[in-house]
Amino acid sequence: MFEAIRWPDDMKPSRSPIHFTNELRVAVAPETIWALLTDPEAWPSFYPGVRHVDLLGGHTSFQLGTRFETNLAGQDVHASIQECEPITRIAWGGGPIADKASTAYHAWIITPVPSGTHLWTEETMQGPLWIELVKQDPALFWRTHETLLQDLAKVAIEREHAAERA
């Protein structure tokens, strides 16, 4: 059985006009997925549209409480790691720097399965900026996360194969 997302009260799906889930099984170890998700330098290799991730407060990797800035969905975003259990789950919450009224909470659950890893990612979004983007393209964020999962799987497989050859 897979674990459930631990939503902050104000970001629960029942309180959010935008909510979507994506999942994928990939033939790699959960540790490989975890290493990629918690390495800000790796994000541009698999996260659609991400060109940079700047950690704040002297952190060098994602851990509970890490604050960071990046670019997501064409927006400069300020976020923080709000949940972090090594090799099992990570979640961040935040929103566009230019629109404090718009927020998002993006969670990941990483589960070992006999064939490798089951990835579950789920996100809720609130606020005028996100709502306007969804009005223009209702499946935008779901499609972006499908691409994210596919690209993450590809990079993870390449990383494991490179480690096997070394």
Q: Cα–Cα distance between 36 and 30 in angstroms, integer?
A: 10
- Report the CATH number of the 17-165 domain: 3.30.530.20
Q: Give the pairing of strands 18-26 and 53-55.
A: unpaired
Beta strand extents in 28-150 (DSSP E only): 53-55, 67-72, 75-85, 89-96, 103-113, 116-126
Query: What pLDDT shows up at residue 97?
Result: 94
Query: What pLDDT shows up at residue 4?
Result: 85
Query: What pLDDT shows up at residue 25?
Result: 97
- Tell me what the pLDDT averaged over the chain comes to: 93
Of 116, 69, 76, which Cα lies nearest the Cα of 96?
76
Q: Cα–Cα distance between 138 and 108 in angstroms, integer?
A: 22
Q: Note the pLDDT tens digit of each residue in 105-159.
A: 999 999 999 999 999 999 999 999 999 999 999 999 999 999 999 999 999 999 9
Q: How many CB atoms within 10 Å of residue 118?
A: 17
pTM: 0.93
Query: What pLDDT shows up at residue 2?
Result: 59
Q: Note the pLDDT tens digit of each residue in 59-88.
A: 888 999 999 999 987 789 999 999 999 999
Query: What pLDDT shows up at residue 1?
Result: 46
